[in-house]
Structures are given as C-alpha cells and as structure tokens.
Structure 1
C-alpha cells in the first residue's frame, strides 16, 4: 500500500470518522454511505481478528463434538457489545455528518430529516442488540407481569415491530424521493427527468428497494 497513492483515501477516512468535528464534503458523505453498506464486511474483519488473536487458527480441524470451536463468538462481549457497535458506527458517522451539515448551512431540510433517518436506524439496531437479552430475561424469570396491555399484547414487542416498520418505510421513501428524485405524483410517481426510456424499470427498482428494505421480516 504505497502511501503516496493511498494517502488521500486514508485522509478522507480520517475526516469521515472524526465527524462532526470536520465539515463533510460530498466525497466524505459518499465514503460514509459506503461504510453503511459494508457492515457485514466489518463484522467479518472483526471475526477474523478474534479468530487470529484467540489462536483458534492453530486448533485442529477434527475437534470433538464436546469442544465447541470459537467460544468467543458466543460470548456476551462479542454478540451484545462488539457486533452492535460495528453496526452502529457507520450510522453514527452519517448521523454526525448530517448534524454538521445543519450547523454549517443552517438548513433544517434535508439535513435534520436525514439525521432523523439515521437516528431511527440506530434505535432499531440497539433494540435488535438488546432484544435477545430481553427474551432471555423473560424466559429465565418466567414472569407473567411483563409489560402488556389488557389484551395480553406485549408492549415491548409491539413497539419494536412498529419501530422496524417506521424505519424501513422512512428509509424507503427517502431513497425514492430524495436520493433518486422519484415519487412525484404529477409525473406518475416518477421524476421530471428520466435517463432510461422505459418507465417500467423505475417502478421495478422501487418495488425491489421496498422488498430489500423489508428483508428483516
């Protein structure tokens, strides 16, 4: 990795990570958006680091059934601390960038609305991280007095599901309306300027985006 050719990228990554201390430009926002799509890659990198540091790569392949490989990946600090932090970090960066853009431009729209989108995503991630702990607490305690209404509906589960749906729909609408410039009713829910001649392509992409945003179901 020659420093002369890689230096601009590493400097940009540093400015991305240090948001909102530094003012983001378009390239910094683009890099942060790429980070949000690389969460799985970051998780794999962390898994590899733990695999090497723990010395599991020295273990033989033919282990006994009683010897569980990679015990650290089932530990509390890995499943409920490290992995959620990796999922949160790119969202936190984009959230800070949106706030910094608001501070620099004093424009609430679209900066605060975009920050709210990432705040919702972070909240969903936190609920997803602590939801297994909640279920473990419920099953171990076997307590009938868990928060529920008079019909027996679990309020925690209901709020969690509503949060998921709200975040998914908000992100979908932001993709279509803000990022792609589509969803305008007077243009048949497309945009004023289209690059491709067939409108069916745009409708298909919007449907695919909605499906992908709902893959958590």
Structure 2
C-alpha cells in the first residue's frame, strides 16, 4: 500500500516529534497553507501571554481570597469566564484542591486534553505514552520522578482529563506567605503544580 512505501512523504519525516513538527510546518508553508509569522504569534501567545500565567493568577487569588476559593471549587466556569480565561480547550473546567490528606494529579489517558487558556501549550511529557499510562498505574513513582515525595498518609488521586472536562489543581499555599500580595503569590505558582506533578516554589 502507498502508506507503507519508503517513497511516501509520511515515511520521510524524521522520527523525533519536534523534527516531525518542523518538517510538517515546512511542507505546509511551501504549499501556502500556513503563514509562519501567524504560527509564531499563536505559539508565543499560548506560551508566554496566555499560560501558565493565567492559571497562576487564579491560584494566587484563591489563596488570598477564601470566598473566591470556595466558589472556584464549587463551580469554576462562571469565575473563569468572568476573568476571560475561557474558550477553546478551556470549557467545562473543574478545580481540585490539594490538602494534607489528598494530592491531585491530572492526566489525559486518551490523548492530551489540557486547559490551554489557563496553562498554555501542554508540555511534551504530558502527551507522552509513558506519562499517560504510568500516571494511572503508579502515580507515586511518577511523582517521585518529578521530585515530589509525599507522606504515606497523603492519598494520590488521579483525574482523567477529557474533551468534556478539564482539570486544574489548586496546590497548597506555601508556608510563610501570609504577607505576600496576589502578584507575589502568583510568582510562586508553577505550571507543574497546577497539573499536580510539582509543588509551588518556596517563599523567598
């Protein structure tokens, strides 16, 4: 069949995902199907202007404002829409809170469903087969590989993100941050802490 032939264009793409993406971009650009400048603008928007700074602002506000936190955990969607952190890949958000008793972790076992308006472009490891399979089977081992070691008394709950529902982890507020502003708190929030594979930065 044509797809099995080494002469077929698909067979000539490099095996590394990043190289494959670049090769596809080159092919589509040459055919006049995409504008590289527009593509760069989209990537810059999601990487630097949209997320994960938006998610960090939401977490910081939840840490600083108990009423906001309570409403966010009850029904995040109206609040996120009001803040403008809504839309494509950000519909039907559920926020889950880390506590001393429970640590939450998000995975998409089928593909790479991810809250783009809050966290930007998903990292490569989030889309990998290894993470998608192992996060469900052995979450503590995966967390340890990310540098997160939890007490045995803390349960790990894994949430499977889908096209219908996406999750954001509300990490625990670091100790010693009582006097910090929301902007200062947001600087402590990491992307991985909002996926559950990391923790917030320690207060300076």
Please say whether Structure 1 and Structure 2 have the same fold, judged by a TM-score greater than 0.5: no
- TM-score of the aligned structures, taking structure 2 as reference length: 0.25
The structure with more radius of gyration: 1
Larger strand share, 1 or 2: 2
Larger helix share, 1 or 2: 1
- TM-score of the aligned structures, taking structure 1 as reference length: 0.24
